[in-house]
């Protein structure tokens, strides 16, 4: 969600943005990232309604599932454990909607291809999680074609919570990021 908001700001209020840094962003300009489309999604959402209730009330199944998702978003177990306490306070607030939208698609924000309209230097840091290629190659390709030398992509060993999983590496790359003159 953070990457989506950063790209939206860069395209809607470009005068307020000098450069963009996206940390392990999700990119699906067609709105399809991880959701089941159409009638199948609505059926799945209805079938999983008891699970949504578990998540909404922070029940034991939801807590176990949240822990599993969070654990698998890290490579560094020690750092995951350190971050888990804070994450637990967000679970009852964020996860019911996230789970529902996994089946039905995002709500409350128009999904569009903001990457194709970004016109400021952009750095993408992506957790590799053992992958050899970008998770969202369309994002990398779009930004590279659009921005040329004003675009940089770095794949870093780590998971989705990259700034918590590999903070030294992320901080070094952020401090070293110099937006080239346009």
Superfamily of the domain at 2-31+109-176: Alpha/Beta hydrolase fold, catalytic domain (3.40.50.1820)
69-118 pLDDT tens trace: 777 777 778 888 887 777 777 655 566 666 666 666 666 767 778 888 99
- With residues binned 3-state (H G I as helix, E B as strand, rest as coil), the percentages for the chain, rounded to 5, are 55, 10, 35
- Which residue did the predictor score with more confidence, 136 or 143? 143
Closest CA to 28 of 101, 127, 122, 93: 101
pLDDT attached to residue 11:
93
Structure tokens at 161: 């919570």
All CATH 3.40.50.1820 domain ranges of the chain, comma separated, are 2-31+109-176
């Amino acid at each position: 969600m953070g990457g989506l908001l950063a790209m939206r700001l860069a395209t809607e209020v470009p005068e307020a943005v000098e450069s963009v840094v996206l940390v392990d962003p999700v990119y699906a300009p067609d709105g399809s990232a991880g959701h089941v489309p159409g009638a199948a999604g609505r059926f799945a959402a209805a079938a999983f309604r008891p699970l949504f209730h578990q998540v909404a009330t922070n029940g034991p199944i939801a807590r176990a599932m949240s822990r599993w998702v969070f654990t698998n978003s890290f490579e560094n177990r020690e750092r995951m454990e350190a971050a888990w306490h804070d994450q637990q306070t967000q679970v009852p607030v964020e996860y019911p909607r996230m789970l529902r939208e996994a089946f039905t698609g995002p709500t409350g924000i128009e999904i569009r291809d903001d990457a194709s309209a970004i016109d400021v230097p952009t750095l993408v840091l992506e957790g590799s999680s053992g992958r050899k290629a970008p998770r969202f190659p369309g994002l990398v390709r779009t930004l590279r074609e659009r921005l040329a030398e004003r675009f940089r992509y770095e794949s870093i060993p780590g998971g989705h919570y990259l700034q918590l999983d590999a903070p030294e590496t992320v901080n070094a790359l952020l401090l070293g990021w110099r937006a080239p003159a346009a």
